[in-house]
Amino acid sequence: MQYKKPYFTAALVALLVLGFLATSIVSYLIAHDSVRNQIAEEALPLTSDNIYSEIERDLLRSILISSLMAHDTFVLDWTLDGEKEPEKIIRYLKQIQQRYDTTTAFFVSEQHRKYYHPTGVLKTLSRDDPADKWYFRVRQMNDPYEINLDFDTADRDRLSIFVNYQVTDYNGKFIGVTGIGLSVKRVADLIENYQQRYSREVYFVDREGKVTVRGSGYTGAERLQDRAGMDRVATHILANPSSSVNYTRPDGKTVFVNSRLVPEFDWHLIVEQAESSADSRILDALFANIIIALMITALVVTIIWFTFRRYQRRLEEMATTDKLTGAANRHVFEIIFNHDISSARRNNTPVTLISLDIDNFKAMNDTHGHDCGDTILYNFTELVRGHIRASDTLCRWGGDEFVILLNDCNAENAIRRAETIREAISRYPFRCGKVNLDMSISVGLAEYAPGETLPDLIKRADTALYTSKKQGRNRITIA
- Let me know if residue 405 belongs to a domain: yes
CB-based contact 203:214 (threshold 8 Å) = yes
C-alpha–C-alpha distance, residues 386 and 388, integer Å: 6
**Domain residues for 358?**
330-478
- Let me know if residue 277 belongs to a domain: no
Helices 454-470 and 330-347, axial angle in degrees (round to 10): 110
Q: What is the DSSP letter of 275?
A: P
Dihedral in degrees, nearest 10, Cα atoms 191, 195, 196, 198: 130
SS3 at position 451? coil
**pLDDT for the residue numbered 171:** 94
Give 127's strand partners: none
Q: What is the DSSP letter of 404?
A: E
Write phi, then psi, for 168 (nearest 5 degrees): -120, 150
Q: What is the DSSP letter of 439?
A: -
**pLDDT for the residue numbered 9:** 47
C-alpha–C-alpha distance, residues 121 and 436, integer Å: 50
SS3 at position 363? helix
- Let me know if residue 391 belongs to a domain: yes
Q: Which of 44, 42, 57 is nearest to 190 (CA)?
A: 57
Write phi, then psi, for 102 (nearest 5 degrees): -100, 160
Residues 84-104: b if buried by 16+ CB within 10 A, e if exposed: eeeeebbebbeebbeebebbb
- Let me know if residue 365 belongs to a domain: yes
Q: Which amino acid is at 280?
A: S
400 is catalytic: yes
**pLDDT for the residue numbered 46:** 77
C-alpha–C-alpha distance, residues 342 and 161, integer Å: 31
Of the chain, the end-to-end C-alpha distance in Å amounts to 88
C-alpha–C-alpha distance, residues 458 and 439, integer Å: 24
What CATH number has the domain bearing residue 459?
3.30.70.270
C-alpha–C-alpha distance, residues 85 and 78, integer Å: 9
What residues contact 187, with CB distance under 8 A and at least 6 apart?
55, 161, 204, 213
Angle, vertex CA 206, rays to CA 201 and CA 212, nearest 5: 55
Write phi, then psi, for 434 (nearest 5 degrees): -100, 5
C-alpha–C-alpha distance, residues 418 and 388, integer Å: 9
Range list of β-strands (E), 170-318: 174-183, 201-205, 211-214, 242-248, 254-262, 267-274
Write phi, then psi, for 82 (nearest 5 degrees): 100, 15
Active-site residue among 132, 340, 392, 400?
Answer: 400
Task: Please give the chain's pLDDT, 479 residues, in tens.
Answer: 444 545 544 554 455 445 555 555 666 566 666 666 666 676 777 777 887 787 777 778 888 999 999 999 999 999 999 999 999 999 999 999 999 888 899 999 999 999 999 999 999 999 999 989 999 999 999 999 988 877 777 776 677 888 899 999 999 999 999 999 887 777 777 778 877 777 788 888 888 888 887 777 777 788 888 888 888 888 889 999 988 888 888 887 888 888 888 887 788 888 888 776 445 456 555 555 556 655 665 666 677 667 767 766 666 555 568 888 889 888 889 999 999 999 999 999 999 999 999 998 888 888 888 888 888 999 999 999 999 999 999 999 988 899 999 999 999 999 999 999 999 999 988 888 778 888 999 999 999 999 899 999 999 999 999 999 999 999 999 98
- Let me know if residue 77 belongs to a domain: no
What residues contact 470, with CB distance under 8 A and at least 6 apart?
none
Distances (CA, A) of 157 to 57, 81, 119, 183, 184: 26, 35, 17, 11, 12
pTM for the full predicted model: 0.45
Write phi, then psi, for 401 (nearest 5 degrees): -100, 130
**pLDDT for the residue numbered 255:** 85
**pLDDT for the residue numbered 436:** 83
C-alpha–C-alpha distance, residues 358 and 425, integer Å: 9
Q: Which amino acid is at 315?
A: L
- Let me know if residue 353 belongs to a domain: yes
- Let me know if residue 400 belongs to a domain: yes
Please enumerate, as own/partner, the contacts of 318-323 that have beta carbons within 8 Å and a separation of 24 or more: 318/64, 318/65, 318/68, 318/100, 322/395, 322/396
Question: Looking at the 3D structure of the chain, how many domains does it have?
Answer: 1
- Let me know if residue 256 belongs to a domain: no
